[in-house]
A and B are shown apart, each in its own frame.
Chain A
């Protein structure tokens, strides 16, 4: 067939005319494909949630049960046994808000890391953007955040009735929490862009990441206020790129001190670099994983 025949189709006045060409394995190409397949985001998001409680007897009951048990154990350990200071608010309220923010990041990053590997059956048969399942990983992360905040709401009601004090503030300043959560979601995606293609090839990545995030959790001011750190280490803690988003969330809900400008700048710059490098890396690896997974 000559090119003329192809042109005959392209010149036909059809609103549905589409030209299929070899994909561009560039960051822009990846984003374009993600937009084209955005309708599959809810499917992948639900899949993560369903798979999480597969083969359990209690099933969906684990969704509220897991965070509840987690919070109880940690609050008892850090707030009770170790007596970690939390300013003029109960340790439970202090901890759970920071933990909710951390869960958004950690759970999203975890599912993003597993996105390609978990969906290999579908992805190897349909040319769906590999970014779609990675982006969908924010859904289980967001659900975990909401669950922890639900427990926080229950705690707030309890303290309101018991102490007469309201420890969760909801006003215009709370919007800073939304900014913090948005940044944490982007951080999770940034890591997912690196981890998803690698984890599809080697489980070592999962093992490594598990310990990395476990360590990072204690580096980030979640179980302790940043003010309790010795001054010489406070500057160092501010260089942790996750400090500013977590502090923003705590500032929004608990009215703790807002993050310093240095901490915020470090976080934003790191995020931009992480996302740019991640997209570049993902686009390069997407071609290989498309053919091989």
Chain B
């Protein structure tokens, strides 16, 4: 019994070691260097035009009464992207047969990184070498399915990926069956639920032969059976030599079982390594932040913007948050000119200075509120 207990870890280590060696020897199928994505701040009209715009209802909210013009309007998209560097200087490589996890908090740039790798959005800087097709199996795929019915949407997704129509026509029955939508081929898009659209999109993507698959954590949604089938299909693809990338917010789930994990925060890879190493590093990092009690740059910026929002009741404050984060990051946490922050967020300079002066008078110790009490144990 004791012999068994001592040999088991050795077997695991040997398997892990062999797997690691195999992966190192495997060819790199996707390599990114200095990958960055910037969403620039939208320009705002100034002067008279700006004044008129600020007093008019947003053009997107108006329904045109002309029958020739109104029938195509689409609702404006929800929020879009925050301005600023969403992904910054990411280097990574994906090897054939590997499984990698990209983990990090919401808004950290995970999805944008996946979209960059899949070619759905163009990079602002850097380059990616792809030894084949990178397949996005992402949450937002139903948004791409703008065609009218089930069958046409399969063709549309295929065309977006650069696949010929014949491919979609040939694989369509299998895709629809895998999504559990047999018999729904003629249903219109508007008659389908988001979950059904999601299943159709995921099924289409899993049918594509790619060198890498970028998989969102919510693949399959709440349909456990479908999710299990998807993960099984992905495992088949991995065994056949594809690289699988799981995108998760937490270390739990498939990402925790990956060969390598990348912790992405504020668009940058902060830590990379084995899942257990990452878990330890992140725990230490969070514990360190708690022990020091000092608010992070983001917390400072968020606090500032909350004051800004209260002070002037301005919806631009969300935008200001990102501007503030960017400035805090570039200037260093202790050397931030808050007037500059407000100004760069699109406020008039004199208006910004007035706001900051008012805040300085009325809210002494602006950032002290959120500080936690000093811990009893010394910092590491």
Contact = CB atoms under 8 A, between A and B. Distances in A.
A55 B156 contact: no
Nearest to A50: B148
Given A40-B160, A127-B120, A206-B69, A5 B130 contact: no
B261 to A, nearest CB: 16
Nearest to B124: A22
A288 B83 CA distance: 13
Interface in A25-43: 36, 39-40, 43
B72 A114 contact: yes
Interface string A4-38: 01101110101011111111000000000000100
B9 interface: no
B130 A18 contact: yes
Interface stretch (B26-34, B224-232, B339-347): B26-34
A9 B131 contact: yes
A128 B159 CA distance: 11
Contacts of A122: 143-144, 146
Contacts of B119: 20, 127
A120 B128 contact: no
Contacts of A23: 122
Given A120-B77, A202-B59, A291-B39, A6 B129 contact: yes
A172 B128 CA distance: 53
Contacts of B59: 202-203
Interface residues of B, number: 54
A208 to B, nearest CB: 13
A126 B160 contact: yes
B93 interface: yes
B146 A47 contact: yes
A122 to B, nearest CB: 5
Chain A interface residue count: which class?
Answer: 35 or more
A291 to B, nearest CB: 6
A72 to B, nearest CB: 18
Given A12-B131, A19-B128, A203-B59, A52 B123 contact: no
A131 B54 CA distance: 31
A203 B64 contact: yes
A54 interface: yes
Given A114-B72, A125-B140, A43 B128 contact: no
Nearest to B143: A125
Nearest to A39: B159
B33 A43 contact: no
A81 B77 CA distance: 50
Contacts of B116: 20
Contacts of B42: 292
Contact of B92 (A1, A3, A54, A55): A1
A61 to B, nearest CB: 15
**Residue in B74, B92, B124 with the greatest tally of chain A CB atoms within 10 Å:** B74
25 contacts: A1-B91, A6-B33, A6-B129, A8-B27, A8-B31, A9-B29, A9-B131, A17-B131, A18-B130, A19-B129, A20-B116, A20-B130, A22-B124, A43-B147, A43-B155, A55-B71, A118-B72, A121-B146, A124-B80, A125-B143, A126-B144, A127-B120, A127-B121, A288-B40, A292-B40
Given A18-B129, A122-B143, A292-B42, 6 more contacts: A6-B129, A12-B27, A19-B129, A20-B119, A51-B71, A126-B160
